[in-house]
Amino acid sequence: MAASSASRPRAVVSGGAGFIGSHLCAALLERDVSVLALDNFITGSADNLEPLQGNPEFEFRQADVNHGVFIGGDVRYVLHFASPASPPQYDANPIHTLKVGTIGTMNMLGLARAKNATFLLASTSEVYGDPLVHPQPESYWGNVNPIGPRGCYDEAKRCAEAYAMAYRRMHQVDTRIIRIFNTHGPRMQVQDGRAVPNFMAQAIRGEPLTVYGDGSQTRSLCYVSDLVRGVLAALERGDEQPVNLGNPEEVSMLELAETIIRLAGSQSKIDHRDLPVDDPKQRRPDITRARNLLGWQPEVGLEDGLRRTLEYFRSVL
Ligand code: UDP
């Protein structure tokens, strides 16, 4: 039976108008949690929240969490998803990216502390940098260049994790840290700049697919519905230690480009471009901890997920 409004738990989601944030808001509402989404629209979009706007349990506030978060009433969950997340986006907003990982995280933890709420940090596989251990377990401390172009994102997220642990130790805030690996799905921006949107838009338009370097670098792609299930499992059943959330099915960027050309039925060719500085050579999550602790693993296979995302890009291009 659906909970009445008065007894419903309430979640505050920063970055609620973003790609993952908006799917998360929808999933929380489906589980009878009221949602207040916050976003400053640096990379989020009001269009992503369109399907939720008529829901009386959903509220949106345009806000920058770096400037403080003041919210009346009870809050059961604070989920911090605000941040530019694609390399071109954080490269274009390095100071904002640093602030939202540090000051923004501190403000959201302060909110969780004041409300006695559970806090969940959307951290990232980028905390492992260009990893020297493969696949990456949570116990690996990473190989990050603090002064390279990815430093603003990687170090901000590493600092965010330190903040979460500090608030737990000092103020007993109930915290969770999830490390999100590459994720794709509907509502990714066409201009996002990551491999999946770039390749899909290029394949659909019949343009060459821009593979950086020789394309031998790998990633492991998770479909967004699997990821969101993992976030909710971490919220409900997680502990204070970081947990990897991602799909362990690893693919090289050249294979990914070729697969997308085939799935799109496209005639596009491949155009090799320079490899960006500090681009991680390989990435695959060890999800043993997520399986054991959360009983979670991805269900959507790589090609199945890519087909669904492709359908979305066809609908918006
Ligand atoms: N990449 C590519 N072509 C593009 C965009 C990205 O070859 O048009 C490569 C990029 O160099 C990296 C991989 O794809 O090796 C994944 O990049 P993405 O930006 O999707 O995410 P990252 O995991 O690097 O944050």
Q: Relative to the CA of 202, which ligand 1 atom is closest? A: 8
Q: Relative to the CA of 212, which ligand 1 atom is closest? A: 7
Give the Å distance between the CA of 33 and the centre of ligand 1: 35
Residue-wise pLDDT tens digits, 175-219: 999 999 999 999 999 999 999 999 999 999 999 999 999 999 999
Predicted local confidence at residue 4, as pLDDT: 61
187: left (phi over 0), alpha (psi -120 to 50) or beta: left
Token reading at 139: 């116990």
Measured from the Cβ of residue 220, the count of other Cβ atoms closer than 10 Å reads 22
How far apart (Å, rounded) are the C-alpha atoms in residues 231 and 226? 9
Whether 100 lines ligand 1, by a CB cut-off of 6 Å, is: no
Residue in 89, 157, 253, 272 to alter for ligand 1 test, most ligand atoms within 8 A of Cβ: 253
Give the Å distance between the CA of 196 and the centre of ligand 1: 8
Read off the pLDDT band of 1 (50, 70, 90).
very low
Give the Å distance between the CA of 3 and the centre of ligand 1: 43
Which single residue is written with the structure tokens 């990815």?
Answer: 150
- Select from 62, 27, 67, 308 the least CA-distant residue to 186: 308
Q: Whose CA is nearest to atom 16 of ligand 1?
A: 195
How far apart (Å, rounded) are the C-alpha atoms in residues 144 and 111? 30
Residue 190, SS3? coil
How far apart (Å, rounded) are the C-alpha atoms in residues 151 and 85? 12
Predicted local confidence at residue 141, as pLDDT: 98
Q: Whose CA is nearest to atom 13 of ligand 1?
A: 195
Predicted local confidence at residue 5, as pLDDT: 64
Contact 10, 35 (CB under 8 A): yes
Whether 284 lines ligand 1, by a CB cut-off of 6 Å, is: no
Which residues belong to the active site?
Answer: 153
Q: Whose CA is nearest to atom 21 of ligand 1?
A: 194
The CATH code of the domain at 10-183+223-248+284-299 is: 3.40.50.720
Give the Å distance between the CA of 67 and the centre of ligand 1: 31
**Position 313 pLDDT exceeds 70:** yes
Measured from the Cβ of residue 286, the count of other Cβ atoms closer than 10 Å reads 18
Mean pLDDT of 117-128: 98
